[in-house]
Amino acid sequence: MQQGGDFTIFAGLDHDGMRLDTVVAHEQGCSRHLAATLIKKGVIQVDGAVQKPSHRVMPGETISGHIPQSQEQLPTPEPIHCESLFMDDFLMVINKPPGIVVHPAPGHRTGTVVNSLLYHFPAIATAGPPQRPGIVHRLDRDTSGVMVVAMNGQSHEALSAMFKARKINKKYLALVYGNMKTGSGTIDLPIGRHAGDTKKMAVLGKKSRDAVTLWRVKRAFPDATLLELSIKTGRTHQIRVHCAAMMTPVVGDGTYKCRWTKKRKHFTNRHAFELLKSAKRQMLHAWQLEFNHPVTGEQMRFTAPVPDDMRQMLKKLANAYST
């Protein structure tokens, strides 16, 4: 059950513009519903004053309160396979498969990476917030690839600080619709919450914050391109939003898409058009992760192999143009 207790959150730039209930839920590892209930009751306050759950947090504010004991069920161990690429006493690097959520959240209470970690490594339960032990960064459910996980409280704190300081380099592979005009480039477009859909992000959206993505062409097809991308910031859905803003959305992305990709007339090959349309999830893969070990200082780089569905998509796409 939820451990509960008093807490204090010093809001920083990462919290700017976020809902109060969202910040509390994220930082304390509880559900947003519980956070909102406690905020409405005045149990959780901002700078000593009662606010609404929808209050937009500003840097410099102090959020304090208490989460009662036994309010929520903690994640339980589940025998879910998750491929390990590296492990020592301080951290583990995994290859997350597509279709699995990183940690429990409303609508996804079981079947997550956290449930798997607790089954195979019970001691990880003390590494960070009890609702998401070990987790220092996330990938979207349908994004595959490399993730680093903290094995204890010391490394959880150190890795979290490294991510905030942007000392961890991340490279992705994305199959996108269309072609690029040059071999490489930079997308420098601020990202914020979508004005009409709070579950989506958008360039120049509400409370936009700087977002920079570097890209280069890794393989070009007549109607699609495999990109290697490096993100200098870590905004929610950053690559997906930026690619869509360039009118080259990630193949299979049902949230950030462009109308032109639905029309056959914009494609040179009918088989390629049908193949790209058949993608069951966004063709986005967290390919490489590079950082210095938080304890030893050793420089480390990990690469997650491209998953089978994406590899088959690329193979079939090449065959479509060779026949």
- Tokens 């976020």 found at: 18
Active site residue 140: yes
SS (H, E, C) the chain: CCCCEEEEEECCHHHCCCEHHHHHHHHHCCCHHHHHHHHHCCCCEECCECCCCCCECCCCCEEEEEECCCCCCCCCCCCCCCEEEEECCCEEEEEECCCCCCCCECCECCCCHHHHHHHHCHHHHHCCCCCCCCECCCCCCCCEEEEEEECCHHHHHHHHHHHHCCCCEEEEEEEEECCCCCCEEEEECCEEECCCCCCCEEECCEEEECCEEEEEEEEECCCEEEEEEEECCCCCCHHHHHHHHCCCCECCCCCCCCHHHHCHHHCCCHHHHHHHHCCCCCCEEEEEEEEECCCCCCEEEEECCCCHHHHHHHHHHHHHHHC
**Among residues 14, 47, 88, 140, which one is catalytic?**
140
CA–CA gap between residue 241 and residue 3 (Å, rounded)? 37
CA–CA gap between residue 96 and residue 297 (Å, rounded)? 25
Active site residues: 140
